[in-house]
Structure 1
């Protein structure tokens, strides 16, 4: 499968790359990543979709800009990307990974008219949704970075701390807001995810009509590391509205 060369689009401070033709899909990467997280997914998606992948604010080739760095602001950024790339006001399918899933949820809450279908890969609505081991690591890193900042560190360290705090302080999505999401939704995670399975199930339960797929042996990075399985699940959901259960290794629904 050959990936075509992207068309680069600048939307304000944001770097976006667009490939393919067809119904539009927006890909939103996770914390401290960039659009290349989806390099193994884009070739499959662009066979049927016009795929836009964005570098979130302050990450990849997108500028930090002024003002607060929050999940809500990144969701508003995603809304700007969609409005810039829209043809005839057509809503986008949105695929978000990790913090990108949290951005996608927030986008669906505050800009529902822009979202046709929603894929949430390993998102969380509270820090308690993460396994305890990850929360301990983040708290330790937070304390270390706070001490470094007290001694006057380079801006890059301050920015690293700012991004990490998104995982501890954000996204702040309420259960009531999840219950108000109207876009057909697929909630997907790996069986060995960093997000607690009970939390993933809760998100799927709260969003009306959401489909749940847990991929056997998948980690938090299942879309990157198991693209064959993940692409089949996502592609079928976006094209037909139903994620497959046959022919892929699904633990439960």
Structure 2
């Protein structure tokens, strides 16, 4: 299987942004019965400091998954602020610090479930893009099954927020954990293999490489140059 993982500024490709929104919406409704969450708000499409990452087939006709990296700039609240500020307003102070970003809206289609696209590879690309954006702190909300993945990428539970980092979100029977990478791009707490792979993408954001996933090997064409 071969896929393309590419990144772009949200304002430069509205068509792909709409495909991203529709794919994310379908997944939330199908698996979780959730009609809307804060990261599905469409204002980010018009935000210059939001970068979109999508996984596509090699012909770039299908979107298999996506994620976003949003830089805090005082113009558009981070999704984590909108999600948890009613429980803990101090998140606004944290998001107001220089260099803060958030990885949000991560999803993958049912067509590629089990290949690691929405977990391993999109997460890795998200951290790499956040590092390329010179983020000093990278926030994200993790479901219970993805906390371990966050730690592998170098994140820690942000215990200063909520109940030791935990919130009921997006529904009262769901738990979300606030996590943060506090030393991007050093990633001192990341697994060594993961750290080396992320930093190699930061150094060479355009590369084609075989990657080992849960179901076997994938060929991934990384197109993560965000300087254009």
What TM-score, normalized by structure 2, do the two folds share?
A: 0.34
Between Structure 1 and Structure 2, the one with more helix by share is 1
Q: Which has the higher contact order (CA 8 A, sep 6+)?
A: 2
Decide which structure has the larger Cα Rg and report it: 1
